[in-house]
Amino acid sequence: MNSKVQNETSGRYSKMKLLLISNSTNAGEEYLEYCKPDIVEFLKSYGVSKALFFPFAAVTFSYDEYERKVQEKLQPLGIEIVSIHRAGDATEAVSEAQAVVVGGGNTFQLLKAIQDLNLTEAIRSKVQSGTPYVGWSAGSNLACPTICTTNDMPIVAPKTFSSFNLVPFQINPHYLDAHPTGHAGETREQRLQEYIAANPHCYVAGLREASMLSLISGELKLHGSRAMRVFKSGQAPLELQPNDNLQFLLS
């Protein structure tokens, strides 16, 4: 990408403050253990003391339980968590939010619930105007143009797969390289190759666990100790490290 195009691209995203996390829990760790310092530092750097939480990806446990689960991890560190499901007026709650935090779970359930409340555009506009956004797993999927690169089963049918479109590329959270012995089905890479064959205009970022992306002041960065695998139709997959330039993904 030449410098002029890079400057224009960075300017387009200059107001947004995004932290997009692959997973909430590493093997052998407690919930949010590895990423909560990053979440808290990110939110506090913008003066956030209270965040609006979206628990709608929860399926087998209640929104109250999900809210409490996140509260227990973040409130002792100075970030109050209040769930959107408690709001009398959800649109007003979004407009007044200091930050938007979207938890993981089932991406189809999450998107359908947001669409049923007619919140897609309200959240998009709020975040594009500069309100910090944190998402993990399904919450990271919703930052993309669509949810088509989620790993989840479509247990419900949203009106459309289109989501917040905060970044112009797709994310595949929990990206796995492994192909289990004796498994004859598709690998994760094969499934993503199918996606880019059907959507040749779009990049897909395979975000491995214990990794996250930030978009701050128009600059996209990879955080963590693992490389990210990027797919694009007609190109060999790229292995990108945390210090690599990722601005081409914003083009």
Residues with a known catalytic role: 137, 152, 174
Question: Contact, 149 vs 141, CB < 8 A?
Answer: yes
Contacts 24+ apart (CB under 8 A), 111-114: 111/142, 111/147, 111/158, 111/161, 111/163, 112/56, 112/156, 112/157, 112/158, 112/159, 113/56, 114/54, 114/56, 114/142
Whole-angstrom distance, CA of residue 192 vs CA of residue 198: 10
Structure tokens at 211: 């990794």
Q: 216: part of which helix (H) or strand (E)? A: strand 212-216
Pick from 6, 120, 97: nearest CA to 48: 97
Structure tokens at 169: 């590329």
